[in-house]
Structures are given as C-alpha cells and as structure tokens.
Amino acid sequence: MPEVFASNNLSIQYDATRWYLYNGGRESPPLVMAMPSGLTYTPAFAAARHLSDRGFLPTEDIVTVAVGFAAEDNHWHLGVLLTPAAAAERGARWCGLARWPGDQTLQAEQAGQALAALLERPYKLILPQPPDSAPPPAAVKDEPPPPLPLMPLPIRSEGWVLAERPGELCLSQEGSALRGNLIRTVFLIALAPIFVILSIGALNSVYAPVSPEWLPYVGLAVAAILVILAGRQLLNVMKAPITILERNTKMLKQATRIGGRLLLQSPFEGIDYVLISHTVGGRRPKPDKDGTPVQPFWAEVWIHAYSPRRGFIELCHLADVEGRLRTDIDFSARRSLYFGEIDSPAHHIGGWLAQEMDCPVYVEAR
C-alpha cells in the first residue's frame, strides 16, 4: 500500500479501495478513513475541524477534493470542499486534512488524487498565484538570515514561564504573579470596610458634622470603587489562561488556570504564524563589541498566534521585558524573527511556540 508523509507527523496510506490518514504511524487508529460512502474520523479530529460528533461525513456532503498552495505558510494543503448545507453546520466550507512544504507538490497531488478517485468526486489543483509585481529591492535586502538557536527550556520572563511537560509545551503565569494579584485583592477588600465604617460614623456622629458635608459620601464611593477593583483582580486570577501545545493531537489549547475550563482550541495547521509585537519603553546606547549598533532595551511585549478562522489569539502579555535590539533596523514593518536583530526571553518564547507548531514567526513594533 503506497504511503505519503505529510507535515506535523502525519502520514497517508491508500490503495484503490482504502485511504487512511494517520498521526504518527499505524500504531494508533487512523484519524480519518475514507471509503466510497464517505469519511469516518475520530473524536479528536472532529473537535479539531469542528465536524459533527457523529464521526461520519457522507460523500453527498462533499463537492470537491482539492489541493491548493497557500503563500502565507508556503505549504500545499489537501482538503475537501463541502456543500453549503454541510458547511452551515460547521461554519466553513473548507475542511483541511493535511499539508506539505512547498517543494513536495507530488506527494500532495498523489494523496489528493487517490482520495478523489475513491470518493468519486472531482479533483482540483489550485496552483500558486503569480505575484502582481516583483518585490521592491528593500524587501529583498531586508530578508533576514536563519534564526539562531533557541534558549533551553524552561524560559522565564516577567512572571511568565514556558516549560516542557510530558507530550506538551505549557505557557502560563508563574505562581508568584498570581499570588501578587491575590495579595492586592485581599488588601483592597480589607481597605473597603474601613472607608465604610469611617463614612457611616461621620454621618451618625453626635459631634460637629464633618466639613464639607459631602465628604462621607466620597468615602462610601471610594469603598465601592475598591470593591469593584478587588472583584476585577479576583476575576483576573480566576480567568488567568494557560496555553498548552499538545504534541500528540497537534492542538493549541487555552484553558483557565482555576477550574481548567477550555477557552479555545485550534489545530496546529490552522495557525498561520506567530507574531511578537513590542513597544519600546527605554533604551541605553551601547554599541556591540564588533561595532554593530545594538542597544539594550526595555519593552512591553505581546505574543499572538494568528488563525484565519479565529483571528489573533493572545498567548501572553509581558509588561517590562529586557533585551537587545539593533538600532539600524526598522521594526515598524513586520519582519521575520532573527535573534541577531532583536533578542529577549519573550522572543525566544515566541520562537519555541512557532517551532512547535511548524509555522513562521514574525516581529514588529506597535
């Protein structure tokens, strides 16, 4: 039985009567099994692709089997195009199955043609669109060299930690940061009754009234504001997210730290790229040893994953990150991450996340 290997540790085996999509090899049941009547799939695949939990997609719901090139990630994507009625149930017509790097056109075509023949559905190859014009010389000149090796795990930065656990990477706030929020919450809750007692005491005092007379009401208003702020701090602690990259299921998941409530999930192949954006708060001029214009910097940093379906997914926000950047580089335009141009623990965290999801990573200034 012919076998085709795809990105993200997927493999496809097929013949005239069968078509299987495996994750990691034949040791586990296939994620998807195709037959002339349709596609059967596992619950994990259903959750990743937002398919019905019935575990079966009939051929009648499939219009076309297609292989198309996406310039955003430089990969060939194999999937099926659903009928409008079937698409209405899951919210999209395109259902992806596997993908290959841009130089593996033959493997993608073989898998797609075999699936189309088995399902007796039309097969379509969508070639990359030619560029409207050549890129400007500056864009070619600014193409960065390959990134330097990443820092070893775990990586800690400004209350966040990226650590490796069995079968997954985990990005979360450290316990010290959460304890700080809890301490502030307790302080605000303890302070509010003091304002209430003083204000009510002033209103009911048998002695001379407080001047001005509206001052006790200000105290009550301050107590109410403190309670609201304490509630927001407590809510932030309860909703503090944990980002998990599962290697077996190839899924990005976010859940609450307390209670473990699932906030969102997306398959790795649904993530186009990781974006690290920053706002520089301070610099200290200091050229590098070889004369390269490199400066230490302190910046507020955001790390997002971009999904065409969900948009930008915030993975973490770091308030005061220390690092080094080149002063002769314009970061106002999005650039591929290269540690010779900008380097900090936050950028290494973004590099690890992108490497794990097999997608590009970019950096830009806000």
Both tokens of 218, joined, read 């200000």
Same domain, 203 and 295: no
Asked if the structure places residue 61 within a domain, the reply is yes
pLDDT at 115 over 90: yes
Asked if the structure places residue 132 within a domain, the reply is no
C-alpha–C-alpha distance, residues 97 and 169, integer Å: 24
What's the whole-number average pLDDT of the chain?
80
Same domain, 203 and 291: no
Query: What pLDDT, on the 0 to 100 scale, is given for residue 269?
Result: 86
Q: What is the mean pLDDT of residues 163-187?
A: 76
Distances 34 to 96, 111, 209, 260 between C-alpha atoms, Å: 14, 12, 84, 35
Same domain, 233 and 297: no
Q: pLDDT for 228-280, tens place per residue? A: 887 776 666 666 678 889 988 888 988 877 666 788 888 888 888 999 998 88
Cα 327–chain centre separation: 29
pLDDT at 56 over 80: yes
Asked if the structure places residue 131 within a domain, the reply is no
Between these two residues, 62 and 285, which has the higher pLDDT value?
62
C-alpha–C-alpha distance, residues 68 and 87, integer Å: 19
Same domain, 226 and 262: no
pLDDT at 148 over 70: no
Residues 6+ apart with CB under 8 A from 207: none
The domain boundary residue, chosen from 238, 255, 278 = 238
User: Domain range holding 78?
Assistant: 3-126
Both tokens of 186, joined, read 């307790």
Query: What pLDDT, on the 0 to 100 scale, is given for residue 262?
Result: 82
pTM for the model stands at: 0.49
Same domain, 160 and 286: yes
* φ, ψ (nearest 5 deg) of residue 339: -70, -10
Between these two residues, 219 and 347, which has the higher pLDDT value?
347
Asked if the structure places residue 71 within a domain, the reply is yes
Sign of CA dihedral 151, 153, 155, 161: positive
* φ, ψ (nearest 5 deg) of residue 74: 60, 45
Same domain, 208 and 262: no
The domain boundary residue, chosen from 201, 217, 238 = 238
C-alpha–C-alpha distance, residues 113 and 90, integer Å: 25
> Per-residue confidence at 64, pLDDT binned at 50, 70, 90?
very high
pLDDT at 190 over 90: no
What is the total count of domains within the chain? 3
Cis peptide before 145 (omega within 30 of 0): no
Same domain, 155 and 263: yes
Both tokens of 52, joined, read 């019905």
C-alpha–C-alpha distance, residues 278 and 275, integer Å: 10
